[in-house]
Amino acid sequence: MERGRMGDPVSAGSGETVRRWPRPSGRGRAAGHPIARIVLLLLALAVVSLTGAGAVNASMQGVRGGDPSRIGSDRLFKTQMETVRRQLSVQVPPRSTVFLGGSAGDLWYQRILEFAVMYDIIVVSDESSADFSLSLVREAAAASPGGLRLVATRNR
């Protein structure tokens, strides 16, 4: 069967006209201008080097144990989270409502929201309707791991 362009009508031998895929080059001569192929390969390699940078970055972080600028703070934050979560579960009974003052900031508001769900506790935005008011206070790391303590004050 003779070579043809993609989609060229060709005779199937039975008088009917059909469309066909281009014949592959097989193991023989490669198609395409050599310079165009080299340019394309270089461009593709440029894209791969750009998109692969994130994986290299992640690998280095993984091997080093984290982003050098964040290793200490991430570990401290993890410790603080575990401390606050444990203290919440110990101090506030399930099905209670709690209010967290604005001084704690978005970060701790959202973490306490998450931990509250884990222990059937509801966070409310109105302090007067809360069973407990929560606050976070700084404390020596020896007394409260991570140097942070959750204080729950019963309102009613």
Partner 1 sequence: MTAVVATLGAVLLVVVAGLPIGYVLLRDVRLGLLVAPIVTGLTAAVAVILMLVAGGSLRWWLGGLLIAQWAATPVLLRTVAPVRAPHASWADLLWLTVPLIPPFLTAFLPPTEWDAHSIWWLHAAYFTRGATMARQYIGHPSINISHPDYPPLLSATVAGAWSVFRGYGLYVAQFVSATLSFSAIAMLGYAVRVVTGRAPVIVSRLAAVCVALAAWGAAPFAAAKGYADPLWSAAFVAAALLLLFRPDPLRRPGLAVLLLTAVALTKNEGFVMAAVLAAIATVRMRHVLGRAWVVWLPVGGGLVWSAVARHLGAKSDIAAEVDFGSLLRGSSQIYDRLSPTLSAIWATVGAIVAVSMATAVIGGITLRRPRRALGLGGDLWLWSVALAYLAILSATYLVSTNEIHWYLNTSVARVTLPFALMAAASAVCWGVAAVTGGRIRGRATSAAAIETTSATPSPAPTSGTAEIGAREG
Tokens of 66: 């984290």
CA distance 78 to 85: 11
Query: Counting contacts by CB under 8 A, is residue 126 touching partner 1?
Result: no
* Count of chain residues binding partner 1 (CB under 8 A): 69
The residues in 72-101 that bind partner 1, with binding defined as CB under 8 A, are 74-75, 77-78, 81-82
Alpha carbon 79 to its chain's center: 20
Query: Counting contacts by CB under 8 A, is residue 104 touching partner 1?
Result: no
Q: Provide the binding-site residues for partner 1, judged by CB under 8 A.
A: 1, 5-7, 10, 12-14, 16, 18-33, 36-41, 43-48, 50-52, 54-59, 61-63, 65-66, 74-75, 77-78, 81-82, 107, 110-111, 113-114, 117-118, 120, 122-125
